[in-house]
Chains A and B, each alone.
Chain A
Amino acid sequence: MNTIYILWLRELKRYSRSKSRIIGSLGQPILFLVALGYGLGSVFQRAGEGNYFQFLAPGIIGMSIIFTAIFSGIQMIWDRQFGFLKETLVAPVHRITIMLGRTLGGATVATLQGLLVLVIVLAFGFRPYSWALIPVAILFMLLVALLFAALGAMVASLLDDMQGFQLIMNFLVMPLFFLSGALFPLQGLPSALDVVVRFDPLSYGIDAFRILLANVGAFGLGMDFAVLASVAAIFLVLSSWFFSKIQI
């Protein structure tokens, strides 16, 4: 228990100490909000889909969560390269607790980042459907963060150099983001894209955010929860398994 706590705390300390990382990672969501939210807003409206900014905001929250969560998992590659990982691997504790502490920490950090973006979209004029549902939305944010932090950690357990990092960004994170419903509505998609979207776990996270924050959605909250929770559980088990096999 203490092991999980101290490794969770380590992630939070590292996050709070890298002010430039926090500020830098807010630039991208703001850019998307401004360029897409305002740029495509009128087209969206003319197509009869309503206010695009209201629609986009939950997607951008999802974007910041998936990026931060996967990145925090991937940071294990750095820890391996720069040595700290060894310190935890020689400790007389179960590797699963090491993995859980790191992943919960990464998920917490990603959720905080999502909350920051929520505050930003509120400042830009986003109006949530119901303030009372915000706490529920935060729980879903945590679940999405956990899922992708575990995914990042799993990938990091399998890679041992930084070259892999760019590959992951291009072939994992970007598709996961662009092929979720973050930027477009899920109704009336071409059937091939519809299938792909349904295989992207982020779609269910964004759908849940949108239901809770903007009262529009495609899959229903129950379905979203079921998919997110089971995929998160699978990734946690897999990442723990691969992590337990790491050798130096």
Chain B
Amino acid sequence: MDNIIHVRNLTKTFGDIAAVKDISFDVKKGEIFAFLGPNGAGKSTTIKMLTTVLRPTSGDILLAGHDAAKDPDDVRRAFGIVFQDPSTDDDLTAYENMDLHGILYGLSSALRKERIRTLLEFVELWDRKDSLVKEFSGGMKRRLEIARGLLHHPSVIFLDEPTLGLDPQTRNHMWSYLEDLNKKEGITVFFTTHYMEEAERIAQRIAIIDHGTIVASGTAAELKANTGKDSLEDAFLELTGHAIREEEVSGTDRMRARSRMWHGGRR
């Protein structure tokens, strides 16, 4: 089976808002796949359904061969996730957050020790392992969450807007690590973004999502060729009829943008 994610006719409505409308797509094992779309397109809603924390209104999800509705625990073992909003426990230390995760996923104590050290060293947090997470910056928290999401060696890692609010160095560092992991370990990477250049540079295949539907998918080159444009921006404009940033920005995003300004980050 070479499609690790298989989604058919997935729909989610909240009252009369249709957040995701009848989308179908596949992600191949070992692929780096991106959902590219503006705020409110339905990216997070889709990820929440794929990761079993939100029940679809209708449609089917198969992940690593398991049905998300019927065998959620098998699905859960197969993926790691970095949610759009932080999900660490701020009152625990970095090490304790990792250890708790390892125990939830049934890793032995020896295995936890070894992997936690390797991962925390990799994300350059080993020397801060005993600091409470509340003392961490946004970038450090994100790095910790990535390390945590990989601790149980999932076959897919989901990253929902992983680089939002990160400075360029952290962003590059994060992607080079994930690309490396993808090459060496064959881990499938599924991420969402509303940055064109990130989708184009990192993803092997892109699905453009807008107002809850997938309007096109393919490699960046295919998307450009099919629309007859020579930049992904123009292809996006052609496909959706609007630029990615003209959508209204959500409250959280506005806050993030403000905190980016305070911290002198560039976007």
- Which residues of chain A have a CB within 8 Å of any CB of chain B? 2-3, 5-7, 10, 13-14, 17-18, 82-93, 247-248
| Distance of A88 Cα from B148 Cα, bound (Å) | 12
Q: Which residues of A contact B48 (CB under 8 A)?
A: 247-248
Q: How distant is A14 from chain B, measured CB to nearest CB, in Å?
A: 5
B54, B77, B81, B104: most-surrounded residue (chain A CB, <10 A): B104
Least CB distance from B105 to A in Å reads: 6
Q: Are B52 and A10 in contact (CB under 8 A)?
A: no
Indicate if the CB atoms of A84 and B88 lie closer than 8 Å.
yes
Known contacts A17-B132, A18-B91, A91-B105; 13 additional CB pairs below 8 A are: A6-B100, A82-B86, A83-B88, A84-B89, A87-B88, A90-B52, A90-B79, A92-B76, A92-B77, A92-B105, A247-B53, A248-B48, A248-B54
Q: B91 contacts A88, CB within 8 Å?
A: no
A247-B73 Cα distance, complex, nearest whole Å: 15
Query: In the complex, are the beta carbons of A10 and B92 less than 8 A apart?
Result: yes
B81 contact set on A, CB distance < 8 A: 90
Task: Let me know if B76 and A90 touch, CB within 8 A.
Answer: yes
* Min C-beta distance of A15 to chain B, whole Å: 10
B104 to A91, Cβ gap below 8 A?
yes
Taking a contact as CB atoms closer than 8 A, the residue among B54, B83, B85, B100 that contacts A10 in the complex is: B100
- Chain A residues within 8 Å of B55, by CB: 247
With A and B bound together, what is the CA distance between A6 and B52 in angstroms?
23
Nearest A residue to B99, CB-CB: A6
Chain B minimum-CB-distance residue to A3: B104
Residue B96 lies at the interface, judged by CB distance under 8 Å to chain A: yes
Known: A90-B76, A91-B76. A6 touches B103 (CB 8 A): yes
CA distance A89 to B87 in the complex (A): 11
Does B117 sit at the interface, judged by CB under 8 A? no
A82 to B141, CA, bound (A): 13
Residues of chain A within 8 A (CB-CB) of B73 are 92-93
Could you list 26 examples of A-B contacts with CB < 8 Å?
A: A2-B106, A3-B103, A3-B104, A6-B104, A7-B100, A10-B89, A13-B91, A13-B92, A82-B86, A83-B85, A83-B87, A83-B88, A84-B87, A84-B88, A86-B87, A87-B88, A87-B89, A87-B101, A91-B76, A91-B101, A92-B74, A92-B77, A92-B104, A93-B104, A247-B48, A248-B48
